[in-house]
Amino acid sequence: MIILKLGGSVITDKSVPFSVHQDVLTRLASEIKEAGVEVVIVHGGGSFGHPVASKYELQNGLKGPEQLMGVAETRLAMNDLNRRVVEIFVELGLPAISIQSSAIFTCRNKRVETAQLDVVGDFLRLGTIPVLYGDVVVDSELGVCILSGDQIVSRLASGLGAEQVVLATNVEGVLNSSGGVIERITPHNSAEVLGMIGGVKGDVTGGMKGKVSELIELSETGVSALVVNALVAGRVKNALLGKAVKGTLFEAQK
């Protein structure tokens, strides 16, 4: 089983609030169907969740009652995006099942504290495709926090025994300071890679640096991960099939 993360920058236009790249989503759904492998899908918030969460500063926790509307609006925005993703999958004949992330995850100080993964595993065993997403969730210390899709991916991969993680992004892979692709990330170069990566303005989940941090931790548990450019036709399909593709591989530590 493979955990596939569809980045918010791939499925939406982050410069246009509440926009969906329907053509890209349709192509990706087709590639997933053609690959025919067992997958769990997690998608990011893109132009839906990030602007609302940032407006209300939910990434810093719940400071006052005026932020409660932000919690409601962020949940509504993510529900809307998730519905659009699932609809496209179903229209192409994929048995996609929406699973509300905030209903099965809670956090403590922005890190997953509890995860009720049984329902995800049950739907997977039925032969359906569970679809989760980055969300605003209850945090036992902060009131609420933004739980990134990347952190969800890591928890699902370890909890469900995934063979690999594939991150579908809008770049060729993890890039070095010169803009070149770092083909492999291992214990020997992980600290150096983290040091050269910055955050992304407006991304309440940490951008590429957050992704890299999560995937380094995941590789330490024995699960490999591959970051690929999903805007290149066929690349996600080939990654799911285990074929050699351009990107960044996080080597699993045995």
What are the tens digits of pLDDT across the range 56-101? 999 889 999 999 999 999 999 999 999 999 999 999 999 999 999 9
Band of pLDDT at residue 195, cut at 50, 70 and 90: confident
Residue 193 falls inside a structural domain? no
- Structural domain total, the chain: 1
CATH number, domain with residue 144: 3.40.1160.10
Which range, 46-50, 169-173, 250-254, has the best average confidence (pLDDT)?
169-173
Q: How many CA atoms lie within 13 A of 47 on its CB side?
A: 13
Provide mean pLDDT across the span 223-238. Answer: 96
Alpha carbon distance 132, 105 (integer Å): 11
Band of pLDDT at residue 206, cut at 50, 70 and 90: low
Residue 219 falls inside a structural domain? no
Residue 216 falls inside a structural domain? no
Residue 15 falls inside a structural domain? yes
% of the chain with per-residue pLDDT over 90: 78
Full residue range of the structural domain in which residue 75 is found: 2-172+224-247
In 31-122, the DSSP E strands lie at 39-43, 96-98, 105-108, 111-115
Residue 240 falls inside a structural domain? yes
At residue 204, the pLDDT reads 52
Residue 195 falls inside a structural domain? no
| DSSP code per residue over 180-239 | -B--EE-TTTHHHHHHT----TT-TT-HHHHHHHHHHHHHTTT-EEEEEETTSTTHHHHH
The neighbour count for residue 183, using CB atoms within 10 Å, is 11
The neighbour count for residue 244, using CB atoms within 10 Å, is 8
Query: pLDDT digit string (tens) for 90-113?
Result: 999 999 999 999 999 999 999 999
Alpha carbon distance 59, 87 (integer Å): 29
Alpha carbon distance 235, 182 (integer Å): 17
Alpha carbon distance 233, 102 (integer Å): 32
What does the H/E/C string look like for 103-156?
HHEEEECCEEEEECCHHHHHHHHCCCEEEEECEEEEECCCEEEEECHHHHHHHH
- Packing angle, helices 68-91 and 46-55, rounded to 10: 180
Query: pLDDT digit string (tens) for 125-161?
Result: 999 999 999 999 999 999 999 999 999 999 999 999 9
Residues 6+ apart with CB under 8 A from 219: 185, 225, 250, 251, 252, 253
Residue 20 falls inside a structural domain? yes
For the chain, helix (H) and strand (E) counts, in that order, are 10, 12
pTM of the model: 0.92
Query: Which token pair is 142?
Result: 């902060």
Conformational region of residue 209, where left means phi above 0, alpha means psi within -120 to 50, and beta covers everything else:
alpha
Residue 72 falls inside a structural domain? yes
Specify the 3-state DSSP secondary structure of 31: helix
The answer to whether 150 and 123 are in contact (CB under 8 A) is: no
* The residue to which tokens 């083909």 are assigned: 183
